[in-house]
Amino acid sequence: MCGIIGYSGESNAKDIIIDGLRALEYRGYDSAGLTVFENNRLRTVRTTGRVNSLNEKTAESIRGKQKCGIGHTRWATHGEPSERNAHPQGNDTLMLVHNGIIENNNELKENYIGKNYNFTSDTDTEVIAAVIEKEYKECGDRIQSIRKASERLRGSFALGIVFSDCPDTVFATRKDSPLIVGRSSHGNFIASDISAFRKHTDKYCRLNDYETAVISKNDIVIINREGRSLSPTWHTAESRNDSADIHGFRHFMLKEIYDEPEAMKKTFEAITDNGLPDFSKTVDDDFFRRINSIHITACGTAYHAGLLGGHFIEKLARIPVNVCVASEFRYNDPVTDKNDLVIIISQSGETADSLAALRLMNSRGIRTLSVVNAQGSSMENESDCIIRTHAGAEISVASTKAFHVQVLVLLMIAVKLALVNGKITEEYAKEILKEVQNDFTYNIPDILQRSNSILPVADRLSVHRNVFFIGRGRDSILATEASLKLKEISYINSQAYPAGELKHGTISLIEKGTPVIAVVTDSFFYDKMKSNIREVKARGACVISICHRNAKEITEISDEVILLPEETSSLMPFSASTVIQLLAYHTANALGRDIDKPRNLAKSVTVE
Ligand code: F6R
């Protein structure tokens, strides 16, 4: 949520910052801004809208030499998206960019800063600048003023700061919001994530809570909370793959759906050996033994992956699973036992609620296992054990390929738990893995090849304002994810229901022509779903079924069908999941929506 970059070096700072902000724009895109030292004086430019408009604005106004600066792309929390509220914010002493939320900003404004300060924005960020300025005026030391101010702030923050009397130096600090430092041959960086400077270097170090970084062209100094200087631990980022390029697709979302077979293959190969799950690179089999119960927690689409994971684990390993959205889990005071396992799922590894849930479990000493896609994330750093998914960069705000690989990993965990606890045979485990392989090798590519056949259904859907999704068992979870995906990018209201639940109230909303999308991919439920489809059709619904080729009766009673390739077992949600993503994509496209950057959203939700 919001992107930060800071640079000090030999190259043109404005260009490096704008370029970095483009890579970070997926984190927030309602306004953007930068501050650079131009001839040793601070110059700030802010704008509403995207980084492109910042680029145009700075092309006119900043022409001099500049080797240092900070930049920000915003997802508004305090104050509407406007030029006035865009970052950097500050005063004559300093300018700063901020990710996070300051919870005591009113208190600080009223009781610490007082009436004499002239605030010009509605942001909590400007209050931070005022506090640092006050501390600086009192102690005359920049690092100390940042440290003292940090102690006064409640909430979460990652800050990039420039002081008007300290040219070509960027200061940074953080608490509960990610921030890293990078070093390259031509200069040094700070950023909210590595994509901001990955073009320039693969060397990065993490800043821990309350540490302060000072970067200049030739120097990086890290100071801890007590004021002692630290030697940073440098990491090397994975080699850049080309997954951040759009490759001629109209949108990243479509391109990322087409990445699914490859992402699944890579992830599958990393966690299997000889046709069986193998996590020995990160965790040994003992980790999966003597587990009383499992908690799975995540947000949004990752939560839906968790629901599928819970379904698989209960089905195969017969271990009870509690799946809960992280924003509730963290405050629910969940009942846990020392023999429990907590699984956290996240594409970014930075989602504030999921991270808080992880920290809560760590504080109780419960085993934690995180399923994370992004390298170098906070979750990677703080979990007992990590299983990486290999989706590559996911740029579109709507999660697609990351969902597939999350589900794949969870299915492999379920198979592993079932094996080590003697609930299934190796033979059966191998059959399951073979089916997964078939899905990414044949079935999903087959759907992708026929992607255009979904267009007429999407066109039909695009004129409606209310849509229902129904399904049973695993398909009911897919219906929930399908509904989220459609809402998120097309802005069409939709609801998902377990098909047997409609008649307990919701069916009153069905009238002539209401689209009901039935996910019917588990043959165990064919007969039940036939009845549920008939129930809604009897009330005028237009039923679009997503089913297998051999589901003849479902096809006959539906108004439209989207056919999946060959029938798979009840454990394979992958092909249907590709279809629901394509359906959401084509519907949003028919409506001309801004698919990769839907309104009001951001990719990485680092505020709670
Ligand atoms: C929806 C979507 C979000 C994310 C959620 C969790 O398409 O992308 O619902 O799934 O914000 O994000 P991560 O996985 O980064 O924790």
pLDDT in tens, 282-321: 999 999 998 999 999 999 999 999 999 999 999 999 999 9
* 100-123: average pLDDT: 93
Nearest atom within ligand 1 for CA of residue 347: 14
Nearest atom within ligand 1 for CA of residue 397: 8
Nearest atom within ligand 1 for CA of residue 403: 10
Q: Which of 299, 405, 595 to mutate to test the pocket of ligand 1 (most atoms within 8 A of CB)?
A: 299
Token output for 451: 């992607």
> If DSSP codes are grouped into helix, strand and coil, which group holds residue 247?
coil
Q: Does 44 score more than 80 pLDDT?
A: yes
* Sign of the CA dihedral running 561, 564, 568, 573: negative
Q: What was the pLDDT predicted at 81?
A: 86
Q: Does 9 score more than 90 pLDDT?
A: yes
Tens-place pLDDT, residues 513-525:
999 999 999 999 9
* 154-166: average pLDDT: 96
Nearest alpha-carbon partner for 576 in 456, 432, 416, 469: 469
Residue 34 contacts residue 51 (beta carbons within 8 Å) = no
Residue 240: band (very low, low, confident or very high) from pLDDT cuts 50, 70, 90: low
Distance between CA atoms of 480 and 469, rounded to whole angstroms? 7
Alpha-carbon distances, residue 464 vs 29, 453, 459, 460, 535 (angstroms): 28, 20, 10, 8, 21
Ligand 1 geometric centre to CA of 397 (Å)? 8
Residue identifier of the C-alpha nearest atom 7 of ligand 1: 398
What letter would DSSP give residue 240?
P
Residues labelled catalytic: 2, 603
Nearest alpha-carbon partner for 607 in 155, 127, 108: 155
Ligand 1 geometric centre to CA of 386 (Å)? 18
Query: Do the domains 252-449 and 452-590 sit in the same CATH topology, yes or no?
Result: yes
Ligand 1 geometric centre to CA of 456 (Å)? 28
- Strand partners of residue 206: 180
Nearest alpha-carbon partner for 508 in 535, 542, 481, 526: 535
Residue identifier of the C-alpha nearest atom 11 of ligand 1: 300
Residues with CB under 6 A from ligand 1: 299-302, 346-348, 351, 354, 398-399, 488, 604-605
Distance between CA atoms of 300 and 287, rounded to whole angstroms? 27
Ligand 1 geometric centre to CA of 31 (Å)? 21
Q: Which of 121-125, 134-138, 554-558, 599-603 has the lowest mean pLDDT?
A: 599-603
* 32-44: average pLDDT: 95
Domain covering 3-236: architecture:
4-Layer Sandwich (3.60)
Q: What was the pLDDT predicted at 603?
A: 79
Ligand 1 geometric centre to CA of 603 (Å)? 7
Just give the CATH number of 452-590: 3.40.50.10490
Tens-place pLDDT, residues 49-90:
889 999 999 988 888 889 999 999 988 877 888 999 999 999
Q: Which of 399, 403, 606 to mutate to test the pocket of ligand 1 (most atoms within 8 A of CB)?
A: 399
Q: Which of 1, 257, 301, 404 to mutate to test the pocket of ligand 1 (most atoms within 8 A of CB)?
A: 301
Residue identifier of the C-alpha nearest atom 6 of ligand 1: 299
Ligand 1 geometric centre to CA of 431 (Å)? 31
Give residue 18's Cα distance to chain centre: 22
Q: What was the pLDDT predicted at 242?
A: 58
Distance between CA atoms of 304 and 115, rounded to whole angstroms? 48
**Assessment of whether the complete model's pTM goes beyond 0.75:** yes
Domain boundaries, the chain: 3-236, 252-449, 452-590
> If DSSP codes are grouped into helix, strand and coil, which group holds residue 442?
helix
Q: Does 10 score more than 80 pLDDT?
A: yes
Q: Which of 605, 606, 607 to mutate to test the pocket of ligand 1 (most atoms within 8 A of CB)?
A: 605
Alpha-carbon distances, residue 350 vs 71, 138, 197, 347 (angstroms): 20, 35, 18, 8
Ligand 1 geometric centre to CA of 402 (Å)? 9
Residue 215 contacts residue 161 (beta carbons within 8 Å) = no
Residue identifier of the C-alpha nearest atom 5 of ligand 1: 300
* 464-489: average pLDDT: 97
Residue identifier of the C-alpha nearest atom 10 of ligand 1: 301
Domain 252-449 falls under CATH 3.40.50.300: no
Residue 600: band (very low, low, confident or very high) from pLDDT cuts 50, 70, 90: confident
Residue identifier of the C-alpha nearest atom 16 of ligand 1: 346
Give residue 171's Cα distance to chain centre: 27
